[in-house]
Structure 1
Amino acid sequence: MSYILVTGSSRGIGAAAQKALEERGLKVIGHRSREGNESTIAADFADPLSAQMLWNEALERSGGDIVAVVNNAGLFEHNSLDCSDIEWLDRWEDTLRINLTAAAQLSRFAVRHWKRHLAGKSGERGRLVHVASRAAYRGDSPAHWHYAAAKGGLIAMHKTIARAYAPEGILSFAITPGFTDTSMAGDYLQSRGGAGLLADIPLGRVATPEEIASIITYCTIDAPASMTGAVIDANGASFVR
């Protein structure tokens, strides 16, 4: 049985994605920062060695049969322009480490692994699904330069992977949600005026984790190979490209 590795699966979008994939009959290896269990591996992406540890353990648990990686783990942390230089830089580096660098490491490990294996009947070797943000295109608040930069980098990395490895049956997809009803976004919504911020979303509400999970599931299982390189927006028309 093939496995899918989903990072940041302890809550929010990641938890909804793991549930949706399992409901489709797939085996999922989840990830959280601390306290793993029989179906979840603990790895704190603030540690540069943690992504490799996660990949190695996931490979062992799956018997080497990982067919997709969902890069969903993220950090959304306020970083005021008026913080001390050290504090501002620490938050910048933590955010890029967790939101971008760990995803890059896992993508690299996965691509190298798939390149060593024969393609299946469909010609595919593996799929990457990256959960980015509308901030990659629209930017974010003055206290979230680091978050927007990390998500913009994730999109650029995704497009590069898609172009480079499509001939070898390695596919890449990206999703750019707007605000989603998770604890991570909830604090931000409240700090920015709550309901007042919703006026910027024509749909009149934020997305649910289950909505984003349905897109993740589509990209992981159902999206045709010709869609590799695609970026799917899910922001209630708050940013239309």
Structure 2
Amino acid sequence: MAASTSEASGRPSSRRVAVVTGAAAGIGRAEAIALARAGHDIGLTAHADVAGVEETARRCEALGARTLVTPADIACGEDIRRLVAAVTDAFGRLDVLVNNAGALGPDLNRPLVELSEELWHRMLDSHLTGTFLCIKHAAPVMIARGWGRIVNTASIHGRVGGRPTLGHYGAAKAGVIALTRTAARELGGHGVTVNAVSPGFVRTHQLEGTLGPDRLRALAGQVPLGRIGDPDEVAAAVVFLASEVASYVNGAVLDVHGGRMEYV
């Protein structure tokens, strides 16, 4: 697994350092850019779309951030160990972890009786196992400094559950919520808070490719605000949870869904 550095040069950072997984596009890109704008240096990772994550890095650098791009398979413990080591070697610290990575795929909707074991495991590996591995390897760095912020990505499907044909996705995201609350209790005494954002429908290329424009328009009509969310709106919630302002927020799941609370 090769790492490419852009502005990071191995000298310690005087700014807080945030790692954003799944940062090649969409919500992850918006989160990385928002954190760069808020004054963080940025470690970025994506599995397949290296060109996309490098473009995210360029946009962060335009805001004055030093960046490090490290391709990684989010469900591979050794990749995540190397990611954390690369970030700490480059910047001398790791303060904020944003667990955004998680694939949907074109074959997302499947009734349970038609759901293959392969698709079940792929969904849980991408959304839940990857989140666990990132916490496992990043938390010790934060504990050593006595300060840290971890923000996971849940979903309204994990909050409500029960949506037909999305049992694997809902189960993975419900697991993320449970993991968030356990990690918050285990790490809070070390100065590390762990929270999650729970987006509703947010306009990304991945969602548009999965649902299509007609379905998105229909869903927008079911949201009290009358529209689909924007990645920047999720990113704003992440910046809040990663900040000093949220110092007493721990184990929370922050909904960012425009008021649409029922997905069954």
Matched, 1:106 2:134: yes
Q: Take 1:174 and 1:82, find their aligned partners in 2: how far apart are those partners?
A: 27
Partner residue in 2 for 1:12: 26
Structure 1 residues 192 and 143 mapped into 2: Cα distance closer, same or farther (>3 Å)? farther
The alpha-carbon deviation at position 46 of structure 1 amounts to 4.8
Q: Take 2:177 and 2:196, find their aligned partners in 1: how far apart are those partners?
A: 7
CA contact (8 A) 1:29 1:40 kept: yes
Q: Take 1:175 and 1:97, find their aligned partners in 2: how far apart are those partners?
A: 19
Matched, 1:158 2:180: yes
Q: Take 1:198 and 1:18, find their aligned partners in 2: how far apart are those partners?
A: 26
Gaps of 5+ in 1: 120-124
- Which among 210, 231, 241 is matched to residue 219 of structure 1? 241
Q: Which moved more, 1:164-173 or 1:100-109?
A: 164-173
Q: Take 1:75 and 1:154, find their aligned partners in 2: how far apart are those partners?
A: 14
CA offsets, 1:31-77, max 9 Å, x none? 111337563211122545332232222222222x0011000011113
After the TM superposition, which residues 151-190 of structure 1 pair with which residues of structure 2 at under 5 Å, given as runs? 151-190=173-212
After the TM superposition, which residues 47-126 of structure 1 pair with which residues of structure 2 at under 5 Å, given as runs? 47-63=76-92, 65-77=93-105, 78-81=108-111, 88-115=116-143, 117-119=144-146, 125-126=147-148
Partner residue in 2 for 1:122: none
CA contact (8 A) 1:17 1:213 kept: yes
CA contact (8 A) 1:189 1:197 kept: no
CA contact (8 A) 2:157 2:163 kept: no
Matched, 1:42 2:71: yes
Partner residue in 1 for 2:217: 195
CA contact (8 A) 2:75 2:133 kept: no
CA offsets, 1:147-178, max 9 Å, x none? 11111101111111112221221111110000
Letter in 1 for 2:156: R
Q: Which moved more, 1:154-163 or 1:189-198?
A: 189-198
Moved over 4 A (4+): 82-85
Letter in 2 for 1:10: A
Letter in 2 for 1:97: D
Gaps of 5+ in 2: 1-12, 55-66
CA RMSD of aligned residues (A): 2.2
SS at match of 2:215: coil
Q: Take 1:201 and 1:158, find their aligned partners in 2: how far apart are those partners?
A: 26
Partner residue in 2 for 1:131: 153
CA offsets, 1:154-206, max 9 Å, x none? 11111111122212211111100000010121133328733222232111111
CA contact (8 A) 2:111 2:167 kept: no
Q: Size of the alignment, in residue pairs?
A: 231
